Chains A and B, each alone.
Chain A
């Protein structure tokens, strides 16, 4: 499936333990990758519905959406996108290293990916806090809403929260799984048994990054 392992000094042999019901290693790897892609298919359609709602709102209330989008923190969003792109880079690096069998370097890259993900969440948390200060949280009943005179802006801002919260939830679970995986991956002899886990997890991480790559322009950039 992936390129055969050419490593200057293969630290350890890399492989997969075969579960009972699979006939060959390749069949298990193919099943795992294909299974993850089938799951990512459903995630893509989940977010596709959200992007459709954003598009319909843009069609129904163009000026309100633009007014609301003006209040979004464009530059923090851009910075966040860069952060996720870097995490995607470190994740790809971790996958390459796992193929070469360099366990310690791989664990380093996994930790880097997790920390970049956490940085994204912190920046997003700051963004939410700034919105809270600016009274841009219409779904909070008690707080007055800044753009109350244009009710339709409320829709876009709320949708922004739903979309980014759903993405943040995926990122949060992603980081939690990643930390568990890294802890396991640091055990000796991990790569002989479960190198495939790193590859499959990499697909999931790249996907979260892909969703943000689409969400950032659709929510922030296009409506400015």
Chain B
């Protein structure tokens, strides 16, 4: 690695208000070395973040293509376009690939890896070699799943419910199960790295309540990684043993209970939904103050809400099983606790809105994505409460209402936050500015395409159309065609960023150290940052988000 900072770099470190001049090319982490070995055997958290970015983008394309097949098949009610079996394999691949190979690693593994050391003023994560191992474990798991996809696909749905997945499905279930088990370890290693780094490697003066909310939410996400993933690893090990050696624990013929698998599965899978949501909230909590040039409203409440969410989410998994033969007592308990989970999310949404109040807004692309996020995430969250109400659940469980609900959270929430974050930190990651007009066009396309695709599905849901149906009664065709049409607009919206962002790598304007006048240690260093992140030891501001316009803060007077 080249020396930490050149002469003029030190001058910048002494006087914080002059943004450090853009270091000349060879000094930043992208151009310090360019051999293949330096990329595939790197221990630099920034390069590992880019490795993850490349692999999850590839998997996003695979998942999106599978979604395209699903929407194509549903244009006609009688399944003339696609056989039932192909449709089942398409929606299973869409589920497995999107959940485990895109959504879960998307924000933590790319932005988390890249930004957490920068934001807390550290040189790297606590265990750099472990970080690289987590990428290779991710790719191994991905390999197994791709083998299952290539050989003939899986037709059990991403939930792999026994006894269908263990005894009655004769598709390539085993490689898919092994793939998902292995990719679970990649999440555990990433989570472990983050928890230890955030606890032990903060720069001097960086106390917990000076950390950006992005770091708080990733700390909460890492807790969920550590506490939830092992249980699904075991559930899948038991499923593999059940399918390969006929262990019988989930096989009703010997007295095993398939509902036990559902308990173990959902103990992980509901917190996994919060693994997808919390990093999105972190990104939005960085974008909104930056583009409103105003301090985040109620910083401490948002921080506590992140940790609160990470703990309460472990008490609610039963709301996926109200009608699956669960005892009435359990259903009552899980329903009541599910209502408590909605509170921390509501806190965050109202805090973002209050931050925008009396700010000085710049409606660039990241802010458009953030505002889209707030709107769609609120809708997604509250439709979740519909499903948590016992009587309503009996009507809309396993219908398109559920499909619409979780797409509003995952696509309307996490994907918009991912794209917003991608645009917000693109100058910091690549040292180039993306083209602003194209950014806004793609944000608009995605927002419109998303709503046209998924809002009709709410209506289909309470009309009673079950999910995972290859053929459906003709009276639902109109809304399904509308939804499929919307999905084409959404697909177009996704293609734009892939084009103009890559284009900006060579032709984009050079980005200064802090293009958005944002606060946070990652903006104090150059874009792209030097291999060891900071020229000298970074100076930690007294107050996080100390933007010129100070909002109400509990008893803290504003500068």
Q: Which chain A residues have a beta carbon within 8 Å of chain B's beta carbons? A: 20-23, 27, 30-31, 34-35, 38-39, 41-50, 52-53, 56-57, 60-61, 64, 138-139, 141, 151-152, 154-155, 158-159, 161-162, 166
Q: Which residues of A contact B237 (CB under 8 A)?
A: 162, 166
Q: Are A38 and B245 in contact (CB under 8 A)?
A: no
Q: Are B248 and A45 in contact (CB under 8 A)?
A: no
Instruction: Tell me the complex Cα distance, A138–B122, Å.
Output: 54
B271 to chain A, nearest CB (A): 12
Question: Could you list some 29 contacts between A and B, CB below 8 A?
Answer: A21-B126, A22-B201, A30-B200, A31-B126, A35-B127, A38-B195, A42-B230, A43-B230, A44-B230, A45-B231, A49-B234, A50-B234, A53-B264, A60-B257, A138-B248, A151-B248, A151-B255, A152-B255, A154-B248, A154-B254, A155-B249, A155-B255, A155-B256, A158-B245, A161-B247, A162-B237, A162-B238, A162-B247, A166-B237
Instruction: Tell me the complex Cα distance, A135–B226, Å.
Output: 39
Q: Are B226 and A53 in contact (CB under 8 A)?
A: no
Give the nearest-CB partner of B235 in chain A: A49
Return the CB mask of B224-256 against A: 1 if under 8 Å, else 0. 001101110111011001000111110001111
Q: In chain B, residues 268-315, which have Cβ atoms closer than 8 Å to a Cβ of chain A?
A: none
**With known contacts A38-B192, A57-B249, A162–B241 Cβ distance under 8 A:** yes
B123 in complex: contacting residue of A21, A34, A151, A161, CB < 8 Å: A21
B260 within 8 A of A: yes
A157 to chain B, nearest CB (A): 9
Q: Are B253 and A151 in contact (CB under 8 A)?
A: yes
B349 within 8 A of A: no
B320 to chain A, nearest CB (A): 17
Cβ-closest 3 pairs across A and B: A49-B234, A45-B230, A139-B245
Instruction: Tell me the complex Cα distance, A141–B245, Å.
Output: 8
Instruction: Tell me the complex Cα distance, A39–B195, Å.
Output: 11
B196 within 8 A of A: yes
Instruction: Tell me the complex Cα distance, A117–B260, Å.
Output: 33
B199 within 8 A of A: yes
Q: Are B196 and A158 in contact (CB under 8 A)?
A: no
A60 in complex: contacting residue of B233, B255, B264, B532, CB < 8 Å: B255
Q: Are B201 and A27 in contact (CB under 8 A)?
A: yes
Q: Are A38 and B196 in contact (CB under 8 A)?
A: yes
Q: Which residues of A contact B227 (CB under 8 A)?
A: 41-42, 45
Q: Are A53 and B238 in contact (CB under 8 A)?
A: yes
B188 within 8 A of A: yes
Q: Which residues of A contact B254 (CB under 8 A)?
A: 151-152, 154-155
B27 within 8 A of A: no
Q: Which residues of A contact B264 (CB under 8 A)?
A: 49, 52-53
B128 within 8 A of A: yes
Q: Are A21 and B124 in contact (CB under 8 A)?
A: yes
A35 in complex: contacting residue of B122, B192, B249, CB < 8 Å: B192
User: 12 additional contacts, CB 8 Å, given A42-B226, A46-B233?
Assistant: A21-B122, A21-B123, A34-B200, A42-B192, A42-B227, A42-B230, A43-B230, A45-B231, A49-B231, A52-B264, A154-B254, A162-B247
Q: In chain B, residues 178-230, which have Cβ atoms closer than 8 Å to a Cβ of chain A?
A: 188, 191-192, 195-196, 199-201, 226-227, 229-230
Give the nearest-CB partner of A42 in chain B: B230
Q: Which residues of B contact A41 (CB under 8 A)?
A: 226-227
Q: Are A21 and B128 in contact (CB under 8 A)?
A: yes
Instruction: Tell me the complex Cα distance, A44–B230, Å.
Output: 8
Q: Which residues of B contact A38 (CB under 8 A)?
A: 191-192, 195-196, 226
